[in-house]
Amino acid sequence: MRRPLAATMVTAVLLTGAACADNDSNPFSVGFASPAPSATAAPGVSGTPTPTPTGDAGVCLAAKRAGSTAVQTYVQKLAEMLTVGRTDRAAADAARRDAEAALAGWRDALRQQSGRATDPQLKTLLADLATEVGSLGTDVEKIDEAEFDRLQQRLDELCPR
């Protein structure tokens, strides 16, 4: 009973963050992702193309988008793992592997963006976030939400809209 409750709590926390914040300022914006800005206008559409940000602004955007995608997959697969775990062990194991892969991809994206960042604070923060994400795993009882929230708040400060 404790594991499904813990998973529900983690899911609720992640989804609450999504509902309360804009996509570009919250990597936990699950299910509301907007398409990436295009460097060229769509055929038949007049107007000025929206350039993709570069430098630290581009680093921030890439880190946040990677988080949004990863958290969406992570929550979905974690819920699947807990839902089918009692009846279909193979499906639960596959969902666990997919959840862990989503976290690994997010960790790698944070490390990559940390390497691209020029601001020393942003570089360090992204490396710290990568370490935190890398330690998450699929045991929802071991997730340190307070530490993760603190790091997320620092990211929001360094990466304003």
pLDDT in tens, 96-105: 999 999 999 9
- CA dist 127 and 4 (Å) reads 31
Looking at the chain, the number of H-run helices and the number of E-run strands are: 5, 0
Query: What's the pLDDT at 51?
Result: 56
Whether 40 shows a pLDDT value over 80: the answer reads no
- CA dist 32 and 47 (Å) reads 25
Give me the chain's average pLDDT, please. Answer: 74
39: pLDDT confidence band, cut at 50, 70 and 90?
A: very low
Task: Take residue 70 and report the two structure tokens written for it.
Answer: 């990863």
Query: What's the pLDDT at 138?
Result: 77
Whether 27 shows a pLDDT value over 70: the answer reads no
pTM (two decimals):
0.67
- Residue in this structure with the two tokens 């919250």, named with its chain if needed: 26
- CA dist 114 and 129 (Å) reads 10
Task: Take residue 116 and report the two structure tokens written for it.
Answer: 């691209």
**Lowest-confidence range among 2-6, 49-53, 84-88, 147-151?**
2-6
Query: What's the pLDDT at 161?
Result: 64
Query: What's the pLDDT at 37?
Result: 40
Query: What's the pLDDT at 48?
Result: 58
68: pLDDT confidence band, cut at 50, 70 and 90?
A: confident
Q: How many CB atoms lie within 10 A of CB 157?
A: 10
